Structures are given as C-alpha cells and as structure tokens.
Amino acid sequence: MANPSLLILAGDGIGPEVMAEVKKIIAWMGDKRGVTFDVSEDLVGGCAYDAHGTPLHDDTMAKAQAVDAVLLGAVGGPKYDTLDFSVKPERGLLRLRKEMDLYSNLRPAQCFDALADFSSLKQDVIAGLDIMIVRELTSGVYFGEPRGIFTEGNERVGINTQRYTESEIARVARSAFELARKRGNKVCSMEKANVMESGILWRQVVQEIHDKEYADVELSHMYADAGAMQLTRWPKQFDVIVTDNLFGDLLSDLAAMLTGSLGMLPSASLGAPMANGRPKALYEPVHGSAPDIAGQGKANPIACILSFAMALRYSFDMGDEATRVESAVEKVLADGVRTADLMGPAGGTPVSTSQMGDAIVAAL
C-alpha cells in the first residue's frame, strides 16, 4: 500500500516554526514506528500572496485535493492588513475549507491538568474539562450570496447572507452525533431559533436526524447567547456542541479560552470520504499566526503537534499512535517543561519552540 500522503502548508507568522516541530514527530514515526508519510510542502496565506499574488495558488489547491490530509500552520499578519478582501491571507484558508468541502470542524476544548491554573476561570470550573465543539465550516454567512458593499440612495450598505440547506445541516449533525457516541453520548445544538428562521430550520433538522438515526444520543437545544453564558458559567455541562459556522467561530474561541491555554488546542476539519475511504481533511492549530512573536523561538508548538495527532486518529486510523503523541505532550507538561506562554506563577523549565519539540520527541 502507498504511504499516507500529507501536504504541509506552514503559512505565516509562527506557522513555519511550530510546523518544524511537527516534522520532528513525523521523522520519529518513520524511524521508530515504521510509519512513513509522503510529505510535500507548499504556501498558503500571506506568503503565497507574496510569491504568487494570491493567498492560495490553483496548483496548491489541486495538491490539497489529492493528498490524504493537509496540515496547516497559520495565516495572516499586519503586513497584509491593507490588502483587498479578495486576496487577504484568510481567503486562502477559506478556499481550502470550501473547495475541499470540509463541513465538519472539530474543536476540542480540553483542560490539561498541569495547566488548569492558566485559565482565567476558577480551577473547579475548568479542571478536567473536555468538550468537543463541532462547527459547520462550509456554509452559513461565511459563504452565502448575495454579499458585498453596495450603494443605495446616497449611502453604502453592507450585506451578507446566512443560508443553510437541510442537507448541510443534516451532515454536520450526523458528524456530531457520531462523535458523541464515542464520547459522553450527549449533543447540545446551538442557534438563535428565537430570532432567525435559519435557526428554526437548524433546530428542526438536527432534531429529525436525531429522532430517525441517533435516538440513543441525548440531544438538547440552546440559544447561542445562552450557550455563551453557560459555557462561561459551567462548561462541564457539555459534551459535544454542534453549531453553525459563525456561532461556531465565536463559541469555539470562547471555549478555547476557557482552558486558558490557547497554544495547546488543535482542530480538525473533515469532509466526505474519498475513494480510499479516508475523509477529506485539514488539521490546524486553533491559535493564529501571532506575528508579534514570530521568528523568536517563543511559540508553543503543542497545538500544531496535537493537530497532527488528530490527523493520525481521524485520517489514518492510528488512534494508538495519536494517543502516544498526546501522552508524550502530557508527560512533558507534567515534567514542568514550559514555552513562554505556559510560564505561570508556578514556574517550570523555560524552553524554546524547538526545545519543546525535542522534549516531546524524547518523551515518545
């Protein structure tokens, strides 16, 4: 059988630095576990714009479609702030999501024991937290038409369209229910059905899919504003949360920040199965490109390394290898090894990006 293929798009800012540490894990897997990946690399975001005048070249798009999984670092930076909307770094990422049809974005919000103190929330509220946000990623107001800035009379009007079809809702709901079955068997769906018709349809379809196909899973519905409150008040009440693209953007960032350790959190964006049975997939850390610390060896590579672990689990059916990587991360944290962002009052051994990667490889 051919080696599993991986396209690395390190992107901008700290992207290349954190990705360098993932490559160490990949190398270790080839040496020690006999698992060899066919790795290719390319540009996305600002660096792609610098090279080609577009944040995602068509050739790169074609490569992404052809591989088993894409691993992305981060995109964006102040240098690109004044670019036109259509060529901003983010458009590269959004094009990948849309054209690969990665409709199910998995964002675990997990609190690591060694870091519970890092949260702005009280320890008992956050210790042991383990929730999974499933965000719809290819539709909604991110992609709906009509959109744009128009002139009406003598003033400008900004328009975007929130639009969800039944089948778009159904497939991401299924993805959430499937995940729940492997976890706490509970799904909470969030929308604003009290003010938006698209939210009414969302609620109906999620309920229908539940009743027909997943009646064994416990399902509840919550308005997204109440969801933001409840996530802040007592996040451990949730297991899996399923929500739309825009609410998911806010709520998953909120959930990530609850844990206090943004530099720790991975994500997976999954689409339909390809001919080989593997889902279309892109993995990326939740954090951004952090231009303020880029190139200084300060970045925390763990979110990117855990994104690779998600790739092992969800794309390559190597759950054991994924757990091995995750355990190595936990061990290193328990040992007090800390990049700058993880340096709290309790102290620890300060390390650079590269030393953190080495420590994790050593713990493997």
Ligand X SMILES: CC(C)[C@H](C(=O)O)[C@@H](O)C(=O)O
Annotated binding-site residue numbers for substrate:
97, 107, 135, 225
Furthest CA-CA distance within the chain: 68
> Which single residue is written with the structure tokens 């997976």?
268
Active-site residue, selected from the candidate residues 192, 239, 314, 341: 192
Q: Determine, following the binding rule CB under 6 A, whether residue 225 of this chain makes contact with ligand X.
A: yes
Active-site residue, selected from the candidate residues 103, 142, 283, 314: 142
Nearest to its own copies of 85, 182 (CB atom): 85
- Taking contact as CB under 6 A, which single stretch among the options 87-95, 124-132, 157-165, 204-212 is the one that binds ligand X? 87-95
Active-site residue, selected from the candidate residues 249, 280, 283, 314: 249
Report the candidate in 51, 62, 59, 63 with the shortest Cα–Cα distance to residue 87. Answer: 51
Q: Name the binding residues.
A: 77-90, 97, 107, 135, 225, 249, 253, 288-300
> Which single residue is written with the structure tokens 């299924």?
174
Active-site residue, selected from the candidate residues 31, 216, 225, 335: 225
262 interface partner picked from its own copies, ligand X, none, CB below 5 to 8 A per type: its own copies
E strands along 212-260, which residues?
Answer: 218-223, 240-243
Q: Which of 90, 117, 178, 213: binder of ligand X (CB under 6 A)? A: 90
93-122 residues in contact with ligand X (CB under 6 A) are 93-94
Sign for the CA dihedral angle at 217, 218, 223, 228 comes to: negative
Nearest to ligand X of 117, 253 (CB atom): 253
Q: Name the binding residues for NAD(+).
A: 77-90, 288-300
Residue 58 is among the residues annotated as catalytic for this protein: no
187's tokens: 């799904």
Nearest to ligand X of 27, 87 (CB atom): 87
339's tokens: 């990049």
Order the strands of the 240-243 sheet from edge to edge: 38-42, 5-11, 69-74, 279-285, 266-273, 104-110, 130-136, 240-243, 186-191, 218-223
Cα–chain-centroid distance for residue 208? 27
Nearest to ligand X of 94, 364 (CB atom): 94
Q: What's the chain's Rg over C-alpha atoms?
A: 20
Residue 225 is among the residues annotated as catalytic for this protein: yes
User: Would you say 206 and 173 are in contact if contact means Cβ atoms under 8 Å apart?
Assistant: yes
How near is the Cβ of 230 to its own copies at its closest, in Å?
8
35 interface partner picked from its own copies, ligand X, none, CB below 5 to 8 A per type: none
Q: Determine, following the binding rule CB under 6 A, whether residue 161 of this chain makes contact with ligand X.
A: no
Residue 253 is among the residues annotated as catalytic for this protein: yes
Residue 126's H or E segment, with its range, is helix 123-126
Residue 223 is among the residues annotated as catalytic for this protein: no
Q: Determine, following the binding rule CB under 6 A, whether residue 12 of this chain makes contact with ligand X.
A: no
Which residue(s) pair with 269 in the sheet?
Answer: 105, 282
User: Would you say 328 and 23 are in contact if contact means Cβ atoms under 8 Å apart?
Assistant: no
**Which residue ranges make up the site for its own copies (CB under 8 A)?**
85, 88, 90, 94, 120-122, 125, 141-142, 144, 147-149, 152, 155-167, 192, 194-202, 205, 224-226, 228-229, 232-234, 246-247, 249-251, 253-254, 256-258, 260, 262
User: Would you say 205 and 169 are in contact if contact means Cβ atoms under 8 Å apart?
Assistant: yes
Residue 32 is among the residues annotated as catalytic for this protein: no
Sign for the CA dihedral angle at 27, 270, 159, 254 comes to: negative
Instruction: Give CA–CA dist 235/123, Å, rounded.
Output: 12
Q: Determine, following the binding rule CB under 6 A, whether residue 195 of this chain makes contact with ligand X.
A: yes
Binding site for ligand X (CB under 6 A): 90, 93-94, 194-195, 225, 249
Report the catalytic residues: 142, 192, 225, 249, 253
